[in-house]
């Protein structure tokens, strides 16, 4: 057993070291404007945990032979492993690694506390983030503080106009913060993602602290401040579940989570771990957060609001900001996709640039929940429609495969039933603004090489920040795989034929038809056409295809123009 414990310990520490090595490249990638290298690093890092677990499991099977499924052996190994990792800084990640191996070996359903570590609640509050990770700037005026903070980034290349940038940042801050600012407290490590770098922290006034981020861009003419984000909402969008993960050159980036949650108290710890790249531990914490919530609520799971899907059965709880999506056993017409193809699209979204518009979905296997927490009608439907992956044993429901996502308000409800908002944190929607942002969401996904496949409002949702996002991936394809065409004219006498007289290929798309099936009321349809009429032309889509084919990397900034500095 000591050899087996040592094997897992060494594999876990090696995983964390490799994670750190990949992450540490981010600053050099930023300085070199090596955006493709940064993207490759992101993809490599996403696969690390799964690859390391698979390799460790294979070696353990050879080492333990018949004892690899001996529960007594694993109980002892768990105790020895806990002792061996107790002094390690990364022990919470190491426990998640151990659990991943046991679950593969035993194909565990639910939680097996005898051979698994139970995720601990994350203690929040700035006092639990080591002071060494933070730096307070409080000497001089606001311009002095910001300039010193920028210099402390220690980039190998300079700023284009540091004094001018500082002046512009101060002007934007003073417009938005009416109080005297006494200091700024910043995370020492720079956050890198895609083509930007971020200094993350808070402004300190006499009465409050305000979340604060400086966004930096490296242009052909050196580094400049691109935006200054102020307030919880703006910073929360930066750390959104619709974005790729950050790269932070820090040996224990997860220790920043308590401080980050002070900045964004409505974000779950699991979301923040995931945003920092620790997505497997984030998934572990998410399950713990679900169980904790079930202990304090009397609500039951019920069918999620919105139009029932033909591919997924979706359920939720009124006071929980999550939805659970289970694949149906059979997909009703006109759906022609397969279970394998649907899973492949979710895997694509997980690894793709989500452009701030595609919701991250956590994939769970063998998830167990108590049957008494389900409305009877929902449980009956799950067993009838998803029986191949749903079972009931006494009061225990096992979902063999399920996706869990953040809940949003379906856009068709916002547009057609604006008073039918469901659950907490749903803003009073301005329907016109939502429809305009719906068009922008389609644009943003397109430049990220994503075509939703099905543009109906029911497949989009509105977040608590008023942003439109997409969540139905069963028909999602890459823009570069589509053939965008203009509608040919029908021959004389055949204008009213239901079946077109011209051939239609499997990947053919006619943007001119979008307007007829979006389902927008006349006034809102006019607003959509005013802002996004070019989306109904093949010319616009072919233009995007051309830019992608030429290798252009088109980034969607995670902030609106109101936060950009004036130039």
| Active-site option among 165, 360, 472, 474 | 360
Q: Is 312:325 a contact under the CB 8 Å cutoff?
A: yes
Q: How many other CB atoms are there within 10 angstroms of residue 373's CB atom?
A: 16
Q: How many other CB atoms are there within 10 angstroms of residue 156's CB atom?
A: 9
390 backbone dihedrals φ, ψ, rounded to 5°? -125, 130
Bridge-based pairing state of the strands 181-187 and 134-137 = antiparallel
Whole-angstrom Cα Rg for the chain: 25
Task: Report the number of secondary-structure helices (H) and strands (E) in the chain.
Answer: 18, 18
DSSP letters, 267-329, are S-HHHHHHHTT-HHHHHHHHHHHHHHHHHH----BEEPSSSPPSSEEEEE-TT-SEEEEEE-S
Which of the 8 DSSP states describes residue 249?
A: -
Q: How many other CB atoms are there within 10 angstroms of residue 506's CB atom?
A: 6
Which of the 8 DSSP states describes residue 117?
A: P
Bridge-based pairing state of the strands 508-509 and 483-484 = parallel
Q: Which sign, positive or negative, has the C-alpha torsion 72, 74, 80, 86? A: negative
Q: How many other CB atoms are there within 10 angstroms of residue 62's CB atom?
A: 9
Percent helix, strand and coil across the chain, each rounded to 5?
45, 20, 35
Q: Which sign, positive or negative, has the C-alpha torsion 87, 90, 94, 96? A: positive
Alpha carbon distance 321, 284 (integer Å):
17
Which of the 8 DSSP states describes residue 108?
A: -
**Angle, CA 558 vertex, CA 555 and CA 560 arms, to 5°:** 105
Alpha carbon distance 311, 303 (integer Å):
14
Alpha carbon distance 297, 293 (integer Å):
6
360 is catalytic: yes
- Which active-site residues does the annotation give? 360
């Amino acid at each position: 057993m000591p050899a087996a414990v040592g094997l897992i310990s060494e594999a876990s520490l090696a995983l964390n070291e490799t994670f750190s090595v990949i992450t540490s490249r981010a600053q050099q990638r930023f300085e070199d404007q090596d955006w493709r290298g940064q993207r490759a690093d992101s993809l490599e890092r996403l696969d690390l945990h799964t690859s390391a677990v698979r390799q460790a499991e294979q070696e353990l099977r050879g080492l333990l032979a018949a004892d690899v499924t001996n529960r007594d052996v694993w109980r002892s190994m768990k105790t020895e492993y806990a002792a061996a990792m107790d002094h390690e800084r990364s022990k919470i990640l190491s426990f998640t690694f151990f659990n991943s191996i046991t679950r593969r070996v035993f194909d565990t359903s639910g939680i097996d506390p005898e051979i698994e570590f139970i995720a601990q609640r994350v203690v929040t509050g700035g006092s639990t983030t080591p002071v060494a990770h933070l730096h307070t700037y409080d000497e001089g005026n606001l311009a002095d503080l910001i300039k010193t903070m920028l210099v402390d980034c220690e980039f190998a290349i300079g700023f284009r106009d540091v004094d001018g940038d500082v002046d512009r940042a101060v002007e934007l801050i003073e417009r938005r913060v009416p109080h005297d600012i006494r200091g700024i407290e910043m995370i020492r490590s720079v956050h890198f993602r895609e083509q930007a770098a971020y200094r993350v922290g808070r402004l300190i006034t006499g009465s409050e602290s305000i979340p604060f981020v400086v966004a930096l861009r490296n242009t052909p003419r050196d580094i400049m401040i691109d935006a200054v984000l102020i307030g919880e909402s703006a910073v929360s969008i930066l750390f959104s579940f619709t974005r790729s993960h950050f790269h932070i050159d820090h040996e224990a980036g997860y220790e920043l989570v308590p401080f980050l949650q002070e900045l964004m108290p409505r974000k779950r710890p699991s979301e923040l771990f995931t945003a920092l790249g620790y997505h497997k531990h984030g998934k572990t914490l998410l399950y713990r957060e679900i169980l904790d919530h079930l202990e304090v609520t009397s609500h039951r799971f019920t069918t999620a609001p919105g139009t029932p899907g033909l591919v997924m059965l979706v359920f939720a709880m009124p006071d929980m900001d999550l939805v659970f999506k289970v694949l149906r056993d059979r997909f009703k017409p006109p759906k022609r996709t397969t279970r394998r193809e649907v899973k492949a699209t979710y895997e694509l979204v997980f690894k793709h640039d989500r452009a701030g518009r595609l919701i991250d979905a956590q994939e769970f296997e063998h998830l167990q929940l108590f049957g008494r927490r389900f409305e009877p009608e929902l449980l009956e439907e799950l067993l009838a429609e998803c029986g191949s992956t749903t079972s009931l044993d006494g009061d225990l429901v096992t979902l063999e495969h399920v996706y869990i996502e953040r809940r949003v308000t379906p856009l068709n409800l916002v547009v057609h039933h604006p008073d039918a908002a469901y659950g907490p944190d749903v803003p009073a929607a301005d329907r016109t603004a939502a429809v305009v942002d719906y068009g922008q969401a389609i644009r943003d996904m397109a430049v990220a090489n994503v075509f939703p496949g099905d543009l109906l409002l029911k497949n989009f949702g509105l977040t608590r920040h008023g942003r439109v996002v997409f969540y139905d991936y069963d028909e999602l394809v890459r823009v570069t795989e589509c053939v965008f065409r203009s509608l040919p004219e029908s021959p004389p006498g055949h204008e009213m034929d239901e079946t077109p007289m011209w051939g239609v290929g499997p990947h053919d798309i006619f943007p001119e038809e979008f307007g007829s099936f979006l389902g927008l009321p006349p006034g809102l349809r006019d607003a959509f056409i005013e802002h996004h009429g070019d989306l109904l032309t093949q010319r616009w889509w072919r233009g995007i295809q051309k830019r992608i084919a030429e290798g252009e990397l088109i980034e969607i900034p995670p902030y609106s123009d109101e936060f950009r500095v004036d130039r």
